[in-house]
C-alpha cells in the first residue's frame, strides 16, 4: 500500500515535471541541477566542516563556517528555490492556464522533496506548524484583509458568517460523526480512534483554506458576489476552525468521561469569546494603525513599516490571549485600509500595497512548495484505504450538502438569490489547504495514536482538492456558464449611478417606513464620516473623500499617463507636450464650450451647437493621429532646434542619493540660477523674433485651413492660426467650441516649446481674470471676429455667472485662449507662446513670469 501511494506521487511528479520543463528545458534543468548540487553540497559540507574546524593550527586566512550561518542560509536558500520554482512555472503560460499555479507549486515541491530524500534518505525539511502559523500565514491573511473589498464583504456578511460558522461546524461534526459511524460499522479496519478524536479530525478538515481559494479563484474571475462568498467564508472559517480545533483538543485532553454539560457550554462560550475577542483585538490594532499614520508625515520612509509591524503584533497579541489570531489580523487589515490609504503619502500607500503583495505571494509560494515537499516522507505515510477514501468522499459530499442547505435558507432573505451554478461552484471551491495540514501536524501524538494517518489523510485531501479540484475548476466554471466578473473599468456615470442608487434606496426605505440595510448603512456612513474619519484621518486627507471625484481624478491621471506614453512611443518629447496640452484643453474646455452651447440653445445657433461638441471622447487617441502627422515634421525640426538651444546640460549631482530619508536630489542653487538666466535670455530672443512675425509652424497652419473653412457654417473668414486645428475634430468643427479649441491649439502649436500647461499648477490666475472676455471686445483684431460674435451672443449670461466659470477656465489651463483673444498687450502673449522649455522649467518660470 505504502509503496503504491509513493510510486503514484513519483509518477505524477515526473509527468508534471515534463510538462513544466519541456518548453524551457535548458533553464529549468539548470535550476534544478543547481539546487540539487547546492543541496548535496550543503549536506556534504556539514561533514567536511566538522573535520576542518578541529585542526586549526594558525590564523586561517579564510575559514568555512557553515554552522555559523546554517539556519538563515537555509531559510534564504529555500525562499530562493521556491521563488525560482515559481519563476519557471510562470514562464509557461500555456501550462498555468490549464493547471493552477498552486497545483504546479505543490508538484514542484514533490520534485524537490524527492531530491532531498534521494540525497539524505530522510526528509529533513518540512512545514512545521510554528513556521507556518507564525511566519508564513500572517502576511497572507493580512494581505487578504487589507485588500478586502469592504463594501462587498459587509453587504454579504450575513451569508458569509452563516457559511463560515454554521457551515464549518456542520462540516466538522458531520465528517467526524460519519467517520466514527463508519468505523463502528467496520469499514476501516482496526483503528484506535475515539469519537472525540474523530471530531477533532473533522474540525481540522473543515477549514476551507483562503490561500488555496485565492490561488485558484483569482485565475477564474467569477463574479464578485460568488467570489466574496467563497473567499470571505474561507477567511473567517479559518478562525472558526482554529477555535473549534482548540476546543476539541481540550476535550480530547480532558478525556471522554470528564466531559459534562458544563464543559460543553464552556466550550461553546469559549468559541464565541475567542472569535469575537480576536476580531476585537484586530479592530483595536486597526484603529491604532490609523491613528499612528496620522502623524507619520516626517518619517515617510518607514511609515509603511507600521502597518506590517502592528498587523503582526495584532496577530501575536491575539495568539497570546488565546484568541483567534487569524480573525484578528483580518479585521486589523480591513479596519485600517481606508484610513491609512487616506493618511499616508501616495508613495507609501504604493509601497504598502506592493510589499503586502510581495510578502503574501512569496509566502504563499513557499507554503505550497513545502506542502509538496512534506509529502515525500516515509514516516507520515500510513495508508488506510477506507479511512482516506471515506474522508475524501465525506469532505466533498458534506460540503455540497452544507452549502446547498445553507444557501437555500439564505436565498429566502437575499435580494438577489444565489443561483444553482453559483452554489455548485461554492461547494466545489471548498479547497482545503495548509491550515488543515498545519493543524494536523500540531496534533499530539501521545493523545492521538493515529496521528500519522490523520496527517497523511489531510495531505491527500489537500492534494486532491488543490490539484484535482483546482484543475477542474476552470472548465467547470466555463461549462456551467457561471457569471464572470466584469473586467471593464469603472466609468463616472456608473459610479455616480451607484451612489445615487444608494441614496435612493435609503429614501425609499425611509418612505416605506422600515429600517433596513440601506438605512443602517447610511447611518453608519454618517457616523463614520463625522466621527471616525474625524478622529482617524488627517484633516487634509478628509477633504478628498468623495468617490465620484476620486474616479474622476483617477481617470484623468490615467489619460495623462497614456498620452505621455503614447507621445514617448512616437519618439519626440516635444510632441508629447503639445499633444498633452491639446488634449487637455480639448477635454477641459468642453465644459466651457458646452455652457456656451447651452446658452446658445435658445437662439438660432441651437441647431448646430448641439452637434458642436466633440463627438469622440477625448480619451481616444486615434482622432489625433491626423493632426499629429501633419504637425510632426515641422515640430521635429523645431524640437531639435529648441532642445539644442535651450537644454542646459549640467552635471547631475546626486548628493542625496545616500540619504535614507530623502529620495529627491536637491538642486544646486547656482544651477537653478543659471537655468533661470538662460531661460530669460532665450525668452527675450524669442520675443523679438516673434515680434517680427516669424512663427515656425505657419506652413501646417495653412495646410489644414483649407479643409476647415468649408465646415465653418457662419462662413466667417478665419484667421489661419485660429482655424488650423479644428480639422481633427471631425464633423463638428464649428461654433464656439470649435473656435475655442482650434484657437488654443494653434496657439500651442505656435509655441512649440511651451511647457505643458495642462500639468502645471496655476501660476497667475488673477491677472488673467482681470480682463473678462466681454470687456476685451474693443481690443479684438480682425482675427477675433468669430469670438467676439460669440461673446455678444452670450451676453445674456450675467458677468457674475461667467465669473463663476472663469476659475474653471483657469484651473483647466484654458485661460490662454482668453488671454490671446483679448489681452491687449501682445508681449505677454508672445512670451507665453514662445517660451522655451528649460529642463527643469518650473522654478525659473515662476520667477520670471509673475
Partner 1 sequence: MGSRASRLLREEEIEEIKKETGFSHRKITRLYRRFTSLDKGENGTLSREDFQRIPELDQVNFRGFMRTLAHFRPIDQDNEKNKNPSATEPLNSRTNKLLFAFRLYDLDRDGKISRDELLQVLRMIVGVNVSDEELGSIADRTIQEADTNGDGYISFNEFIMVLEKGNVDVEQMMSIWFLH
Q: Which residues bind partner 1 (CB under 8 A)?
A: 225, 413, 415-417, 485-486, 488, 490-494, 496-505, 507-509, 511-514, 516-518, 543-546, 548-549, 552, 555-556, 587-588, 590-591, 594-595, 597-598, 610-611, 613-618, 732, 804-805, 807-808, 811-812
Q: Which is nearer to partner 1, 475 or 617 (CB)?
A: 617
Q: Which is nearer to partner 1, 760 or 785 (CB)?
A: 760
H helices present in 412-469, as ranges: 420-428, 434-442, 451-463
Closest distance between partner 1 and the C-beta of residue 628, in Å?
21
Q: What share of the chain is helix, strand, coil (3-state, %, to 5)?
A: 75, 0, 25
Q: Which is nearer to partner 1, 444 or 489 (CB)?
A: 489
* Pairwise CA distance, residues 753 & 834, whole Å: 6
Q: Which is nearer to partner 1, 300 or 556 (CB)?
A: 556
Dihedral angle of Cα 591, 597, 601, 605, to the nearest 10 degrees:
-170
**Is-contact 783 822, C-beta < 8 A?**
no
Q: Which is nearer to partner 1, 574 or 816 (CB)?
A: 816
Closest distance between partner 1 and the C-beta of residue 482, in Å?
14
Closest distance between partner 1 and the C-beta of residue 811, in Å?
5
**Is-contact 335 283, C-beta < 8 A?**
yes
**Is-contact 125 116, C-beta < 8 A?**
yes
Encode burial over 248-273: b for 16+ CB neighbours within 10 A, e otherwise. bbebbeeeeeeeeeeeeeebeebbee
* Pairwise CA distance, residues 826 & 169, whole Å: 81
Closest distance between partner 1 and the C-beta of residue 147, in Å?
18
Q: Which is nearer to partner 1, 501 or 849 (CB)?
A: 501
**Is-contact 740 801, C-beta < 8 A?**
no
Closest distance between partner 1 and the C-beta of residue 812, in Å?
7
Closest distance between partner 1 and the C-beta of residue 494, in Å?
5
Q: Which is nearer to partner 1, 493 or 573 (CB)?
A: 493
SS3 379: coil
**Is-contact 282 253, C-beta < 8 A?**
no
Closest distance between partner 1 and the C-beta of residue 621, in Å?
15
Q: Which is nearer to partner 1, 68 or 544 (CB)?
A: 544
Closest distance between partner 1 and the C-beta of residue 529, in Å?
9
The angle at the Cα of 367, spanning 364 to 371, to the nearest 5 degrees, equals 145
* Pairwise CA distance, residues 375 & 369, whole Å: 10
Closest distance between partner 1 and the C-beta of residue 559, in Å?
10
Q: Which is nearer to partner 1, 93 or 544 (CB)?
A: 544
Closest distance between partner 1 and the C-beta of residue 163, in Å?
19
H helices present in 512-546, as ranges: 517-527, 533-536, 539-542
Within 10 angstroms of residue 647's Cβ, the number of other Cβ atoms is 13
Q: Which is nearer to partner 1, 79 or 480 (CB)?
A: 480
Q: DSSP readout, 268-312?
A: HHHHHHHHHHHHHHHHHHHHHHHHHHHT-GGGTTTHHHHHHHHHH
Residues composing the chain? 850
Q: What's CA 81's distance to the chain center, in Å?
A: 26
Phi-psi region of 109 (alpha: psi -120 to 50; beta: other; left: phi over 0): alpha
> What does the H/E/C string look like for 90-152?
HHCHHHHCCCCHHHHHHHHHHHHHHHHHHHHCCCCCCCCHHHHHHHHHHHHHHHHHHCCCHHH
Crossing angle of the two packed helices 346-375 and 137-146, in degrees rounded to 10: 140
**Is-contact 205 391, C-beta < 8 A?**
yes
Q: Which is nearer to partner 1, 452 or 610 (CB)?
A: 610
H helices present in 618-758, as ranges: 625-646, 669-691, 698-711, 720-723, 735-750
Q: Which is nearer to partner 1, 446 or 731 (CB)?
A: 731
Q: What's CA 129's distance to the chain center, in Å?
A: 30
Closest distance between partner 1 and the C-beta of residue 612, in Å?
8
Q: Which is nearer to partner 1, 498 or 565 (CB)?
A: 498
Residues whose CB falls within 8 Å of the CB of residue 158, separated by 6 or more in sequence, listed in order: 410, 413
Q: Which is nearer to partner 1, 379 or 607 (CB)?
A: 607
Closest distance between partner 1 and the C-beta of residue 731, in Å?
8
Closest distance between partner 1 and the C-beta of residue 607, in Å?
12
Closest distance between partner 1 and the C-beta of residue 490, in Å?
6
The gap between the terminal CA atoms of the chain, to the nearest Å, is: 88
Amino acid at each position: 500500500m505504502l509503496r503504491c501511494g509513493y510510486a503514484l506521487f513519483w509518477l505524477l511528479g515526473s509527468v508534471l515535471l515534463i510538462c513544466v520543463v519541456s518548453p524551457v528545458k535548458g533553464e529549468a534543468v539548470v535550476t534544478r541541477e543547481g539546487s540539487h548540487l547546492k543541496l548535496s553540497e550543503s549536506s556534504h559540507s556539514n561533514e567536511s566542516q566538522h573535520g576542518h574546524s578541529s585542526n586549526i593550527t594558525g590564523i586561517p586566512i579564510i575559514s568555512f563556517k557553515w554552522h555559523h550561518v546554517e539556519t538563515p542560509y537555509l531559510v534564504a536558500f529555500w525562499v530562493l528555490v521556491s521563488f525560482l520554482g515559481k519563476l519557471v512555472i510562470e514562464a509557461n503560460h500555456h501550462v498555468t492556464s490549464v493547471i493552477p499555479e498552486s497545483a504546479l507549486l505543490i508538484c514542484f515541491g514533490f520534485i524537490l522533496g524527492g531530491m532531498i530524500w534521494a540525497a539524505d534518505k530522510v526528509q529533513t525539511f518540512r512545514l512545521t506548524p510554528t513556521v507556518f502559523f507564525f511566519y508564513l500565514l500572517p502576511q497572507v491573511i493580512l494581505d487578504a484583509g487589507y485588500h478586502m473589498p469592504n463594501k462587498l464583504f459587509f453587504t454579504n456578511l450575513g451569508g458569509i458568517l452563516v457559511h463560515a460558522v454554521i457551515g464549518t461546524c456542520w462540516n466538522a461534526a458531520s465528517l467526524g460523526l460519519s467517520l466514527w459511524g463508519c468505523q463502528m460499522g467496520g469499514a476501516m479496519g482496526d483503528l484506535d480512534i475515539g469519537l472525540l478524536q474523530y471530531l477533532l479530525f473533522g474540525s481540522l478538515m473543515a477549514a476551507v483554506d483562503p490561500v488555496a481559494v485565492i490561488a485558484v479563484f483569482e485565475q477564474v474571475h467569477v463574479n464578485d458576489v460568488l467570489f466574496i462568498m467563497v473567499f470571505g467564508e474561507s477567511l473567517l472559517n479559518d478562525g472558526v476552525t482554529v477555535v473549534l480545533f482548540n476546543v476539541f483538543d481540550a476535550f480530547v485532553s480532558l478525556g471522554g468521561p470528564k466531559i459534562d454539560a458544563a464543559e460543553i457550554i464552556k466550550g461553546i462560550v469559549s468559541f464565541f469569546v475567542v472569535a469575537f475577542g480576536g476580531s476585537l483585538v484586530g479592530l483595536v490594532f486597526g484603529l491604532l494603525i490609523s491613528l499612528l499614520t496620522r502623524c507619520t508625515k516626517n518619517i515617510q520612509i518607514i511609515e509603511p513599516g507600521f502597518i506590517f509591524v502592528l498587523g503582526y503584533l495584532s496577530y501575536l497579541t491575539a495568539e497570546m490571549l488565546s484568541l483567534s489570531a487569524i480573525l484578528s489580523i483580518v479585521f486589523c487589515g480591513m479596519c485600517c485600509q481606508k484610513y491609512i490609504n487616506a493618511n499616508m503619502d501616495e508613495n507609501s500607500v504604493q509601497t504598502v500595497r506592493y510589499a503586502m503583495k510581495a510578502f503574501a505571494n512569496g509566502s504563499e509560494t513557499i507554503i505550497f512548495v513545502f506542502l509538496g515537499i512534506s509529502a515525500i516522507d516515509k514516516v507520515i505515510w500510513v495508508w488506510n484505504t477506507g479511512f482516506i477514501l471515506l474522508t475524501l468522499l465525506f469532505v466533498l459530499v458534506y460540503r455540497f450538502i452544507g452549502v446547498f442547505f445553507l444557501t437555500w435558507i439564505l436565498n429566502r432573505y437575499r435580494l438577489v438569490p444565489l443561483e444553482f451554478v453559483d452554489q455548485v461552484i461554492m461547494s466545489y471551491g471548498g479547497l482545503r489547504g495548509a491550515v488543515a495540514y498545519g493543524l494536523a501536524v500540531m496534533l499530539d501524538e501521545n493523545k492521538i495514536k493515529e496521528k500519522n494517518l490523520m496527517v497523511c489523510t489531510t495531505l491527500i485531501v489537500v492534494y486532491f482538492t488543490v490539484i484535482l479540484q483546482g484543475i477542474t475548476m476552470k472548465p467547470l466554471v466555463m461549462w456551467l456558464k457561471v457569471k464572470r466578473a466584469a473586467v471593464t473599468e469603472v466609468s463616472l456615470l456608473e459610479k455616480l449611478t451607484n451612489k445615487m442608487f444608494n441614496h435612493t434606496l435609503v429614501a425609499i426605505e425611509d418612505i416605506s417606513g422600515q429600517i433596513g440595510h440601506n438605512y443602517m448603512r447610511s447611518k453608519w456612513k454618517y457616523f463614520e464620516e463625522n466621527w471616525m474619519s474625524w478622529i482617524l484621518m488627517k484633516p487634509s486627507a478628509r477633504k478628498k473623500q468623495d468617490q465620484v471625484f476620486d474616479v474622476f481624478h483617477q481617470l484623468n491621471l490615467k489619460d495623462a499617463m497614456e498620452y505621455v506614453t503614447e507621445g514617448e512611443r512616437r519618439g519626440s518629447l516635444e510632441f508629447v507636450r503639445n499633444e498633452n496640452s491639446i488634449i487637455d484643453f480639448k477635454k477641459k474646455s468642453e465644459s466651457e464650450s458646452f455652457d456656451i452651447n447651452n446658452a446658445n440653445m435658445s437662439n438660432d445657433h441651437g441647431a448646430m451647437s448641439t452637434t458642436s461638441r466633440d463627438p469622440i471622447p477625448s480619451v481616444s487617441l486615434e482622432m489625433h493621429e491626423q493632426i499629429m502627422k501633419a504637425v510632426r515634421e515641422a515640430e521635429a525640426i523645431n524640437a531639435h532646434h529648441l532642445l539644442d538651444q535651450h537644454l542646459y546640460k549640467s552635471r547631475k549631482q546626486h548628493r542625496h542619493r545616500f540619504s535614507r530619508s530623502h529620495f529627491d536630489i536637491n538642486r544646486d542653487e547656482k544651477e537653478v540660477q543659471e537655468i533661470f538666466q538662460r531661460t530669460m535670455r532665450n525668452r527675450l530672443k524669442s520675443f523679438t523674433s516673434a515680434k517680427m512675425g516669424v512663427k515656425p509652424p505657419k506652413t501646417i497652419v495653412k495646410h489644414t485651413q483649407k479643409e476647415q473653412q468649408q465646415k465653418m457654417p457662419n462662413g466667417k473668414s478665419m484667421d489661419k492660426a485660429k482655424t488650423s486645428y479644428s480639422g481633427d475634430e471631425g464633423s463638428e468643427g464649428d461654433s464656439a467650441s470649435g473656435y475655442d479649441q482650434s484657437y488654443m491649439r494653434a496657439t500651442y502649436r505656435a509655441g512649440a516649446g511651451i511647457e505643458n500647461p495642462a500639468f502645471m499648477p496655476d501660476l497667475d490666475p488673477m491677472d488673467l481674470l482681470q480682463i473678462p472676455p466681454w470687456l476685451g471686445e474693443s481690443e479684438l483684431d480682425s482675427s477675433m471676429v468669430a469670438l467676439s460674435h460669440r461673446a455678444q451672443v452670450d451676453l445674456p449670461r450675467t458677468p457674475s455667472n461667467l465669473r463663476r466659470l472663469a476659475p474653471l477656465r483657469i484651473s483647466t489651463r484654458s485661460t490662454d485662449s482668453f488671454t490671446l483673444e483679448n489681452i491687449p498687450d501682445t508681449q505677454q502673449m508672445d512670451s507665453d507662446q514662445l517660451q522655451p522649455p528649460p529642463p527643469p522649467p518650473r522654478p525659473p518660470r515662476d520667477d520670471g513670469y509673475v
